[in-house]
Every structure is written in structure tokens, then in C-alpha cells.
Amino acid sequence: MTLLQTGLQFNGQTGFYSGKVRDVYYFDQLIAMVVSDRISAFDHILPRPIPYKGQVLNQIALHFLEASKELVPNWLISSPDPNVSIGLPCEPVKIEMVVRGYLAGHAWRTYASGKRLLCGVEMPEGMHQHDAFPMPIITPTTKASEGHDEDISAAEILSRGIIDESTWNQMCQYALSLFDFGQKMANERGLILVDTKYEFGIYKGQLLLIDEIHTPDSSRYYYLDGYQERQDRNEPQKQLSKEFVREWLMANGFQGREGEVMPEMPDDFVKEISDRYIELYELITGKNFVKEGQENLKERIEKNVNTFLANYVPA
């Protein structure tokens, strides 16, 4: 059994929101984020769930949220189930903070088209795909409830009044600190954190890190060993990320554009995605991945969350 749609029932539930991958259940003083096995690319949810993907994403995020909580305050309170995180009900800031240390993915596609400006940030001339930027850059996007997130510059964020300058500056400082922290943790595990995104929210006037961090859904990793040799030979970088899913979709004629039909995902490709997610979990955390039973997945989650709620005492 995989978790495609959650449809769970929790005691005291006051609201519900379904995102691309995560389903959020609201309570009076808490939110429960249930990580499904859905996978998205080009802002579209793919038709087949990926076994154990939700557990992988939740447990990687927990690993980094716990490790970085002294650096940047975050929303997390507890994880009563392998697929669930429970935390503070923050008001999300409608901006995703995309931090890029290397020329890859969307930045590379923009660069290869001849453009040198991305989200108001100038990218240097003479770079090659997978090269490191002189310093990490922040290329924010709008956070769309539906459809595509869109690139936006700092000047546009402030002129539209999405957030004030003080909040923007704090988000930049937090994002760069987290990225530096994440890069060091990745290097210790033989990986390079290439790019990632962070999301923030406001709780009782305080800016908090929310959602997930440094997972394969939000981040791109290269293997550190042999990176420079591959660059010198102009060879593709060996990477762990969701980019290979996007590349497979593009090779099969789909980039989320109007009129394009999403291709069917064969069983062996679904298994490959699952295996890669598990591989990244073990590489980045240094822990063995323990596959939790999938037979009564929804019943397990409901029981674990309801037990937590029954015993929770607000701080």
C-alpha cells in the first residue's frame, strides 16, 4: 500500500489543506503535516505514488530540522509517525527562498538560453553547467496555491508589499546560513548540496523555518568524489535529486506545458525513484533506512497522531 491520498480523521481537527505532496491537518494550536507518497514535477502531480517516498522525505526533513534548530528557529514540535510531523500553525510567507550554489537545473536552462539575469541576480559570464557560483545566490519564487511558482526579484517582492524589507533581510540571512550549514553536512557525507529551497512562516510575530529542508524534493545533490574531474572532462555530474525524474519526463515529451500529455510511468521506473530516495536518505543521514509496514498505513497514522494529540500539553 502507498499513500496517494490521505483522507484521514483526527480528533479535534478543524481544517484541511492538500498540497502537491503534503496534506496539512489543522487543530486549535497545532498543525499535522502528513507526507504522502505523491511526486510532482513541473508543478504537476505525477499519476503514480512512489513507495516509501513520504517516509523518506519526512525523516530527512526531521534530521535537518533537529540539527539546525539552534541556528534558525523552526516550526517542528514532534514526529509521532514516520510520515508525520506536528508543529506550530505558522502563517506562511508566500515566497520560496531558492538558494543556488551551482549552475544547475532551472538556472542552467536560463543561462543556456543566453540570459544572465535570474530573479534580478546577475550570473557571471563564462560559466559551464555544474560550475560553482562565486557565492551562493538567492533566486526567490512566488508560492502558488495552484499552478506554477514564478520567479520574482527582491525588488518586486518589496514593491508588491509581499513582505517588508526587515522580514526579507531576515529570510535572506536565515536561508544563506541554512545553506552553508547544509553544505557542510553534505560534504561530511561525501555529497555536495547544489541548490535547495526554504520556506518561512510567522508565528506570534516570530519568523520560523517551516515545511521541509534538504530533501530530494527540495534540493539537488552531487557526489563530491570525482566532481572536479567530471567538470574538467565536461562530463555530466553524478547526482542525487529529483532532476532525473524531470529529465525522464522531458525525454518523454512532457514539461508541464499546455497540450502536453504526461507519460505513463513503468513499474521499473517507479522502483528506481523509490530506490534513489532511499539511497539519498542513507547517504545524507548516515543511517540505515527502515521500511515501515505499509499494510495498514492510514490506520497506523491515525492511531499515532491521535495518541499524540490526546497527550499533548502546550508549552
Alpha helices (H) in the chain, listed in sequence order: 53-68, 105-112, 154-159, 165-188, 227-232, 243-251, 267-285, 297-311
Q: Of the candidates 20, 58, 3, which has an alpha carbon nearest to the alpha carbon of residue 256?
A: 20
What's the CA gap between 33 and 3, in Å, rounded?
Answer: 13
What's the CA gap between 56 and 59, in Å, rounded?
Answer: 5
What's the CA gap between 43 and 46, in Å, rounded?
Answer: 9
The domain limits of the chain are: 91-244
Query: pLDDT truncated to tens, each residue of the chain (315 aa)?
Result: 788 888 898 999 999 998 889 999 999 999 999 999 999 888 888 989 999 999 999 999 999 999 999 999 999 999 999 999 999 999 999 999 999 999 999 999 999 999 999 999 999 999 999 999 999 999 999 976 555 679 999 999 999 999 999 999 999 999 999 999 999 999 999 999 999 999 999 999 999 999 999 988 889 999 999 999 999 999 999 887 787 898 899 999 999 888 999 999 999 999 999 998 898 899 989 999 999 877 789 999 999 999 999 999 887
pTM for the full model?
0.89
CATH assignment of 91-244? 3.30.470.20
